[in-house]
Structure 1
Amino acid sequence: MQVAILCGGLGTRIREETELKPKPMIEIGRRPILWHIMQYYSSFGHNDFVLCTGYKSDVIKQYFLNYRNFSQDIEIDLRADTVSNLEQTEVLPPWKIRIQNTGIHTQTGSRLKQAMQHVDDDLFLATYGDGVANIDISAVVAHHKQSGKLATVTAVRPSSRFGELAIEGNTVTSFSEKPQTGQGWINGGFFVFHRSVFERLPENQNDIELEKNVLEELSEQGELSVYRHDGFWQCMDTSREMELLETYWENGNAPWKRW
């Protein structure tokens, strides 16, 4: 299935990182978080991507145009006008990537509306370009097909803003850094859509929000199915969350790493 990834936002809540690049290009383990997301979908066999870009779209284009050179150490001989790799050649992922500039100030629903010109089938997957999880994508797709609805959203339990303490008397017996809360579900950002959801939206309108307009309307119509995910999920809205994801990766226990 094709995967549409929303990559066009301004990333204002992590401005210190997004002055020079879009948020999906912020690196975790020396790779953009967008790369991690694409690798995750690829591990389930989904290798056809539509990147809905906007803010600093050229940075994303340049990364994939020069993917091999960005991914490896290289030697440049200016006199000979040659470039060679200094390490064993990386096996390139089997991705087809369509990069579409959907506008800097375009809202998420309107971005997906524009993406329909590059989506070939009736069903497609969609997600945001700033979050990772260990969601079973195959199970989400199977759940969606069984539901008979126009769309499926993955529900997750958000992480607490603060560390959780277990206390006995005057002693802390355990400390958990930003654990998942036991109450409430939120939009986890891993979707399955039927293309008709967006084809019926008005043309040339850039202010349609996926959450406020599209998902709310689908829920009112009884056309929004939910897949509940109790496992790992983490967005990257702040520098603290970026550092948390980096720590997972550096420690070799990134829950989203399936490759």
Structure 2
Amino acid sequence: MKAVILAGGFGTRISEESHLKPKPMIEIGEMPILWHIMKLYSYYGVNEFVICAGYKQHVIKEWFADYFLHTSDITFDFTNGNNIIVHKQHAEPWKVTVVDTGLNTMTGGRVKRIKKYVENETFYLTYGDAVSDVNINKLLEFHKSHGKICTLTSVSIAQQKGVLDIDSNNNITAFREKEDTDGAVINGGYMVCNPEIFEYLKDDTTVFEQEPMKNLASKGELKGFYHDGFWQCMDTKREKDMLENLWEIGNAPWKVWDK
């Protein structure tokens, strides 16, 4: 299975750094948050990724093109031609497809644009700005158990995200934007989608979190996988600094791959 990661937005709420790079490329512990998300998937055996890029998409492509430079010691030997020697070579077992899904395309439109890269297969889908210790294998098992089109990971946290109304059978019966008075669980991303999801995506103006989610919920095709562990988005500099601090003190709950 492939993991599709939305990484094309402007990141205006963390503009201190996103004016220079896409938000998923903002670093935690000297590595982009995108890398952290991919490491979680890879820990559970998911090593093929489709990155939905847009804003400053060249930065993402260049970073992966120079991956050895970020993870190894390099000798540039100009004494006998232009030789490059890679020391302690390390590369993840990843296949990464970076797709320019447009500068102003909405989230649903970005997913629609990568249809040919996932073909007629079930795929993971998540946002490129939130880390979690969600168990990807259990998420997939739950998705397979109910046979619906889409499963999303629900978390309990006070954020301005999509609010979910969930019944006793884990059916998501309503999906709407959060209000200040809410204390409900929210959409944490880390989704699994069957290929039928593309029938709900019209064009570049489609916002995944609006009509598609609402229509899936109304038709009983949306399930919630409740995660009571760690989840944190990186919408603001304060949240970025918090994640950075957790990484620096060796207490990053999402770092399941090195425990």
- TM class by shorter-chain length? 0.7 to 0.9
Q: Which position in structure 2 is the counterpart of 1:166?
A: none
| C-alpha contact 1:6 1:128 (8 A) present in aligned 2 | yes
Q: Of the candidates 237, 240, 257, which is equivalent to residue 239 of structure 1?
A: 237
**Following TM superposition, by how much is the alpha carbon of 1:147 offset from its aligned partner in structure 2, in angstroms?**
1.2
**Following TM superposition, by how much is the alpha carbon of 1:158 offset from its aligned partner in structure 2, in angstroms?**
1.3
Q: Which position in structure 2 is the counterpart of 1:45?
A: 45
Moved more, 220-229 or 63-72: 63-72
Q: 1:67 to 1:23 in 2, by over 3 A?
A: same
> What is the correspondence of 1:42-81 to structure 2 with a 5 Å cutoff?
42-79=42-79, 80-81=81-82
> What is the correspondence of 1:13-28 to structure 2 with a 5 Å cutoff?
13-28=13-28
> What is the correspondence of 1:141-180 to structure 2 with a 5 Å cutoff?
141-159=140-158
Q: Which position in structure 2 is the counterpart of 1:175?
A: none
| C-alpha contact 2:201 2:208 (8 A) present in aligned 1 | no
| C-alpha contact 1:159 1:234 (8 A) present in aligned 2 | no
Q: Which position in structure 1 is the counterpart of 2:173?
A: none
RMSD: 1.7
Q: Of the candidates 210, 217, 227, which is equivalent to residue 212 of structure 1?
A: 210
Residue identity in the other structure for 2:42: S
- Partner SS, residue 49 of structure 1: strand
Q: 1:211 to 1:200 in 2, by over 3 A?
A: closer
Q: Which position in structure 2 is the counterpart of 1:227?
A: 225
- Partner SS, residue 93 of structure 2: coil
The sequence identity of aligned pairs, in percent, is 46
| C-alpha contact 2:44 2:137 (8 A) present in aligned 1 | yes
Distance 1:81 1:19 in 2: 34
- Partner SS, residue 211 of structure 1: coil
Residue identity in the other structure for 2:188: G
**Following TM superposition, by how much is the alpha carbon of 1:82 offset from its aligned partner in structure 2, in angstroms?**
2.2
Q: Which position in structure 2 is the counterpart of 1:84?
A: 85
TM-score by length of 2: 0.86
Distance 2:29 2:201 in 1: 39
Per-residue CA distance 1:28-79 (angstroms, 9 max, x = gap):
0010000000010000001110000000000000011110012234332345
- Give unmatched runs, 5+ long, in structure 1: 162-181
Q: Which position in structure 2 is the counterpart of 1:127?
A: 126
- Give unmatched runs, 5+ long, in structure 2: 161-181
2:192 equivalent to 1:192: yes
2:167 equivalent to 1:138: no
Per-residue CA distance 1:216-237 (angstroms, 9 max, x = gap):
1100111101111111000000
TM-score by length of 1: 0.86
Q: Which position in structure 2 is the counterpart of 1:167?
A: none
Per-residue CA distance 1:149-196 (angstroms, 9 max, x = gap):
1100110011579xxxxxxxxxxxxxxxxxxxx942000011010111
